[in-house]
Each structure stands twice: as structure tokens, then as C-alpha cells.
Structure 1
Amino acid sequence: MTDSAQQSRQALGGQLRDIRKDAGLTARALAHAHGWPPSKVSKLEHGNQTPSESDIRAWCSSCGADAQAADLIATLRNLQAAYIEIKRMRLPHRQRQSIVWESETNLMRWYEPFLVPGLLQTPAYAQAVLSHALDFFHNSREDLESVLAARMERQQVLYRGDHRFNFVIAEQVLHTTVGNDDIMIGQLDRLLIAMALPRVVLGIVPSEAEFVVPISNFCMFDRRRVLVETISAELTVTQPRELMLYEKNFKSLAEQALRGDAARALIRAAIGRRSERLSNQPDSELDQ
């Protein structure tokens, strides 16, 4: 289990301890009430043992805190499923999982601080991103063709059904070079095209916008789950309280974002800078 997962388990244990103390029960009395070994309560409260759902229900029942059971169980389920070590998970499987989640989602809200969201990537841009990911995690590009095909297949969700998409990106996304200027010009043009799709909203947070909320990449699937990518793992958030925090975070970022003509102006300016740079390159460099 990752350090973050261990911390989450300890936090859950802390909640259980607070509930027991608020009820005025000793650890020994609680263990005796359910026929548990005396050490079990201590292990659960310190995060050294993961409770079962029945443990949580029994705990809350004995402490007169039945109303808190559902929230604690949601926390437990999130803990059990949240951390997927990326190196152990082959990327083709991850792409197929995304296809299922996205097809089941009515409203997708996606924030990216550095890269274009996967659903809006051109094949050339996606290939460059995925090549680096495969090199980093697997030291091999063996799966590149299948991963790229799956990512392109995912984009069909933009044109099917009645799904809605609200993308917010940082202005840095326009300036992060993936591949080269040719690839970036094609990708930036793709963003302009995506903005015309009837169910797509794209906003850009200007680089000089005030810092108002913690920032990391995340994608919200309705109000059911949030996917967050870290360096070593993917975090799937399903706990109601945490979902509300991500929704609040996205709302703040969306309020800062430029849309419509103002966003198009930023994209066209970025295209212009890259086009000018290409035109100023010697012919020998362009031929390489």
C-alpha cells in the first residue's frame, strides 16, 4: 500500500476513535460487545488494520452513530479501490476502463494544468505523450499502437449520445511543447475545432490569474467519482465529502477561465508564435 493510502487508512481509524470516545466507550468495552480480540480496536484506530463494512456498521451501532456509517463505508470503499499503481497497470487496460467510465457519464468536468485533456488530443500529440509515459513507467513502447488506438477510440464519446463536457485548462497547456511546433500547431487548431462542438465547453485560465484554490489535474465523472493522476498512482475519489471539494475546486477554476472569443484569441496567439518560430528556422532544420 502506498504512503498516501496508509495515511488515508489512519485517517479513517481516527474517525472511528473519535466516534468511540464521543460515545464514552472504552476500547475494551467495544471489543467485548462484538466478541473481537482486545487488540482489534487499537489496530483499527491506528490504521494498522483495515475495517470491513460490517465492522463499521457494528462500531457505529454500538456508539449510537448509525447516521455516520454510510459516509465511513464510502471512505472505506474509496480506500480499497483508490490507489492503482501505474507501473503495475498496463496502459491499454487503463484506456479501456476510461472508455467505460466516459460512456456512462452525462457531465464530465476536466481540469488540466499542463497537457491537453486526452479526449481533445490529436493522434500526433497523443502519440508523443503516450510514448513518454510508456518509456517512463515500462521502459518499453511495446503497447504504443494499442494504447494510441484506444485513446482515439475514446474520443468518439464526444460525438455520440447526449454527453456534455466542460474542459478547463491552464494557459500553460498552450505553451507546453509536446513533440514539436508542427505537432503543437495541429493540436492547438484542434482545440479551436473542439470549441465549436455543441456539447463541449472549453475555458482557459490565464497565466496571470490569481491563485485561489489548490491545483492538480483531475477529471470528474458526474458526481460519482473523480480521477486524479499522481506520478506513481491514480487516485479514484468516491467519498461524498471529497467529491464536494473537487466540485468546489472546479467551479472556482471555471469562474477564472476565459471562454469564447477571449479563449480563441489565446489559442490563435499561441499558434502565431509557433508558426513564426517555424518560419524563422533554417531550411536544414526543417528537413531534419
Structure 2
Amino acid sequence: MPGILSSVRIGLVALFAGVLTFSTASAEAPKSEIRIGTDGSYRPWSGTNAAGELEGFDIELATAACSEMQRKCRFISQPWEGLIPALEQGKYDILVGGISITPQRAKRFSFTQSYGNLPINVAARKSAGLNGRKTWPDLKLALKDKTIGVQSGTQSQKFVDAELKGEVTVRLYDNQDSLNLDLLAGRIDAAVAGRSPWIDFTRSDNGRDVEVLSPDLDFAEFSYLGVGVGGLMRKNEPSLLDDWDKALCALKQRGVVTQISQKWFGFDIATAPDVARCQGKQ
């Protein structure tokens, strides 16, 4: 009998130890991979290099955020018009790539805190003679009856619809590259986009004949354009949102966002840390 009891005790101890081991392993299991969706053709926020690799401000910043969170992340690119539907369908956990934070989008989705802010600008060929206007009313008058290109579904389209409806002929594009090509070819007189793609384009050999027109169309003047850019995610991801916000706070405070800004834009586009978000208050 003692031998039997000893065997039972040993078996129970082993079983209990196994339960403890399983519980510990479960508690320490790594979090799932974060799937990041991006356009891949909206430089310098998100672009694709000659090797077919994603690069840009948002790619580098998101990579730094993933490292800060100690999370594995995977980038997936597809055209802008399909990104938000794919996010809603669960294909992605977060979208990045110069996405403007607006009240309309915030009704349907959650945004991380803003991490960058740039104005919208009109661009045209240097030979068009449209520069030299110091105010938006003056430039708007010069654009009257012109053909204006803009990427569909962007804040720039919202601006064109709000400010130029009935004044110009609008041509919509699926991506910035197609817009640039038609601007160079003279199929449109001018184009409207966020300042960032114009920075990249006018630095290139192809874009040397294009100039960014004054004035800057600032978010402060046109409040409906939002307060800058952030990561977009579904509303049912509070834990991921909190983790991402805290990572952004740490990166801002250490000057990492500024460093990445300088690399991709040539100046600092970083916004100040959101104190509430830094403290986990969404």
C-alpha cells in the first residue's frame, strides 16, 4: 500500500507541475503579429524602392514603434482605395502612410495620436506661370477654368471639392504616380496633394520642371482637413491602440520621430506628444 500511495503522490505532483507549466507558458505566450497595411506609392510617407521593398517615413516609424512594443510586424501594400475596406474586413490591424486624422474618419475608426503634420499644396509646371500668388484667394482666381488633378479619396480631394467646386475641371487619379505623369505631360494644368509627395517628386530628375506653389494650405486655416496624420485601426482594438500610442510617445520624447522626419522630409514634421495618450488615457 505505501508503494501504491507513493506512486499516486508522484503522479499527482507530476500532473500538477504539468498544469503549472502549461499555465505559465500560456501566460507568457507572445502576442500575435501586427499586420500593417500601406499604399506603397505615396512618397516620402510610404514608397517602394527599385528592389520592390517598402521604404519611407511611415515605414521606418512603424518599424521603430514595433521594436518599442517588442512586437513582430509585417507590412503589406495595396492601392489606397482598397486599404480601408480591407482594414474593416480584418486583413490589417493598422494602416499607415500619411493618413490624415479627420472627424469623419474618427467616427468609424480609431486613430493613434498624431505624429506628423504637413500642409496641402498646389503644384504646376514651371512654364504654367501660376506661381507668385501669396494668398489662397489669389491662387484660386488664377486656377479658375483650369483642369486640376487630385488623387481620389484623399484630403486633397476633399479640399478641391470644398474650395474649387464649379471653378475648375477636376480629374481624379488612383495614385500619385499617375497624377505626376499627367502633370508632366500637360494633360492637367495643376495638381493638388499633400506637401510630402511634392517634396519627393520635385527632388527627382523627372520632377525638375514642376514647382510647388504658394501659399501653404494649412490645417489651421482649413480645419476640416484634420490635425495631421496618424495610424488608422478598427475601434475594437483598444489594447493595440494603447500600445501604439505609448510607443509613439517614447519615440517622440527620445527625438526619434524628429530624426526620421529629417531623413525623409528634410525638416521636422513631428507633433508634440499627446500627454493623455502617453498616460494610457484614450
Alignment TM-score, normalising by the size of structure 1: 0.27
Larger radius of gyration: 2
Q: TM-score, normalised by structure 2?
A: 0.27
Q: Greater share of helix residues, 1 or 2?
A: 1
Q: Which has the higher contact order (CA 8 A, sep 6+)?
A: 2
